[in-house]
Amino acid sequence: MTRTVLCRQRRDGGVMVHLHLLSKLKSAVVVVVVVGCVLVFGKLAGADARSDLESLKRDFERLKSEYDSRKNEVGKYVENSRSLRAFDKDEMEKLIKAMCGQDVERDDDESDRVNKDLRERAVDTVRRKWDDITREWDGVEDRTERLQNDLKSLRDKVKYIPEEDAVKSDRASLLDQIVRTIDETDRLYAKLQDDFRALSNVKEGVMYGANNPKIRAAMEYGKRKHVEMQSSCHEKETVLSSGRPDCIYFLKDDCKVVEFKPSTVGESAARSQAERYLGDVQRYFKEDKRAVENCRKDSSGLPIFLAEGKTYYACTP
């Protein structure tokens, strides 16, 4: 800008001197001098604009290189955030699997406590990872926004350079490159924003897991299965010193204690748990009419119950 003004002053001064001297000279000489002056001025003015353009080109090269760094940074961030999303999904699946794998009593406070504990642990793990990734996001977002502003400011500076023939083509080319880089940076920024929104949505799924329908369903699944399977039992959840067997049947010559477990726990475990109650059930129901009439008796006249383990398909994440 300063150089352009100086050039203009020099040009004005020169024209005044020549007009005074040429008043007596022939028009041909005047034309030669004027043309020469114009050529000198043009050369000087073009040189200053080119110099400005070169300087702005260097600025652009620097910003272009910064754009490449931001692009890499955003790429890495998205990669990280993808891993959190996968991790988040894994945590959710692990959480639901753990809930599904539980043996749940129909009115069991313990299972509610375990479910709550499982959920809190998953939330805690996700939160820690989430905090790290959002810190990273903040930094990347700041730097990308700053790059957007720097590029826009550079674009304005280039626009300010006069469209003279000497720099016209270079100016247009630089402007075009800057505008393209601005577009790319805008896309990068939008990508960051979209990713953050998606990440927040996924995170909410675990962070506010109790309201998550999948988690809620898993928490209730075991209880519902027990209630369903207990519908035909003759006795259920009888309180004994050894625990509360899920189900007792007084069938003719086939009295039995039945324990329900998810398939992930397995029949062997369910059978073992049922076996635990046998002695207590025999004594508890020894005078019960149903036991007296239907169960086989041992040498002491106690009703004999068999242990049975039944499994139901565990819910899946």
Partner 1 sequence: MTALGAALYHDCSLAEDTRPIEALWDALLADEASLQQFCVPVAPRKEAPSTFRREQLLQRVKRDELASFLVGTPATIGDADAVTVGVVLQPSTAAAQEGRAGYRYRLDVALGAAAVNRRGAASIVDALVACANAVKPRAGVVFPADTASFAHALATGTRGGLTEEQDRRVKDVFYAVYELGDKIRGPEWGTFLGPHHVAKLGGLDRIEKESGCAVVRRLAHGGAYLQITGTHDDPGVDAGRTALAMFLSPVM
Site residues for partner 1 per CB under 8 A = 101-103, 105, 110, 240-244, 254, 256, 258, 263-276, 278-279, 282-283, 296, 298-300, 302, 304, 306-311
Runs of H (alpha helix) within the chain: 2-22, 27-100, 109-160, 165-207, 213-229, 267-276, 278-284, 289-294
- Residue with smaller CB distance to partner 1, 169 or 241: 241
Secondary structure class of 259 (helix, strand, coil): strand
Name the minimum Å distance from CB 87 to partner 1: 22
- Residue with smaller CB distance to partner 1, 29 or 227: 227
147 half-sphere exposure, CB direction, 13 A CA radius: 31
- Residue with smaller CB distance to partner 1, 152 or 244: 244
- Residue with smaller CB distance to partner 1, 162 or 279: 279
Name the minimum Å distance from CB 265 to partner 1: 6
Kindly compute the dihedral angle of the four CA atoms of residues 271, 272, 274, 276, in this order, to the nearest 10 degrees: 160
Name the minimum Å distance from CB 145 to partner 1: 49
Q: What is the distance between the alpha carbons of residues 224 and 156, in angstroms, rounded to a whole number?
A: 67
Name the minimum Å distance from CB 123 to partner 1: 21
- Residue with smaller CB distance to partner 1, 175 or 306: 306
- Residue 161: DSSP 8-state: S
Residue 258 backbone dihedrals phi, psi, to 5 degrees? -120, 135
Name the minimum Å distance from CB 309 to partner 1: 4
- Residue with smaller CB distance to partner 1, 81 or 311: 311
Give the residue among 154, 146, 95 at the shortest CA–CA distance from 119. 95
- Residue 157: DSSP 8-state: H
Name the minimum Å distance from CB 281 to partner 1: 9
> Which string of b and e fits 102-136 if b means at least 16 CB within 10 Å?
bbbbbebeebeebbeebbeebbebbeebbeebbee
Name the minimum Å distance from CB 124 to partner 1: 21
- Residue with smaller CB distance to partner 1, 177 or 272: 272
